[in-house]
Amino acid sequence: MKYYIIAGEASGDLHGSNLMKALLKQDVNAEFRFWGGDLMQAVGGTLVTHYKDRSFMGFAEVIFNLKKILGLISFCKKDIEEYQPDVIIFIDNSGFNLRIAKWAKEKKFKTHYYISPQVWASRANRVKKIKRDIDAMYVILPFEKSFYKDLNYDVHFVGHPLIDAISDRTQVDEHQFRKAHELGQKPIIALLPGSRKQEISKMLGVMLSVVNDFKEYQFVIAGAPNQDFSFYKSFMKNENVAFVSNKTYDLLSVSHAALVTSGTATLETALFKVPQVVCYKANAISYQIAKRIITLKYISLVNLIMDREVVTELIQSELNYKRLKKELQLILSDDKRIQLFIDYYDLEKKLGGKGASDKAAKLIFESCK
Report d(CA 175, CA 172) in Å as an integer. Answer: 9
Residue 53's pLDDT band (boundaries 50, 70, 90)? confident
Cβ–Cβ contacts within 10 Å for residue 275, how many?
A: 24
Whether residue 161 has pLDDT greater than 60: yes
Q: What is the pLDDT of residue 64?
A: 54
Q: What is the pLDDT of residue 76?
A: 95
Decide if pLDDT at 193 tops 60.
yes
Do residues 299 and 319 touch, judged by C-beta distance below 8 A?
Answer: no
What pLDDT does 273 receive? 97
d(CA 331, CA 325): 10
Per-residue model confidence as pLDDT tens digits over 260-318: 998 889 999 999 999 999 999 875 555 554 554 455 788 899 999 999 999 999 998 89
Higher pLDDT, 324 or 354: 324
Least confident of 136-145, 151-160, 229-238: 229-238
Residue 71 pLDDT grade (very low, low, confident, very high; cuts 50, 70, 90): confident
- Examine the pLDDT at 57 and tell me if it is beyond 60: no
Could you give the domains of the chain?
Answer: 2-160+352-368 (3.40.50.2000), 173-350 (3.40.50.2000)
Cα distance between residue 90 and residue 83, in whole Å: 16
CA atoms within 13 A on the CB side of 180: 11
Helix extents (H) in the chain: 9-26, 38-43, 58-64, 66-83, 94-106, 126-133, 142-150, 161-167, 174-180, 197-208, 229-233, 248-253, 264-271, 284-293, 301-306, 321-331, 334-350, 356-368
The pTM of the full predicted model, rounded to 2 decimals, is 0.80
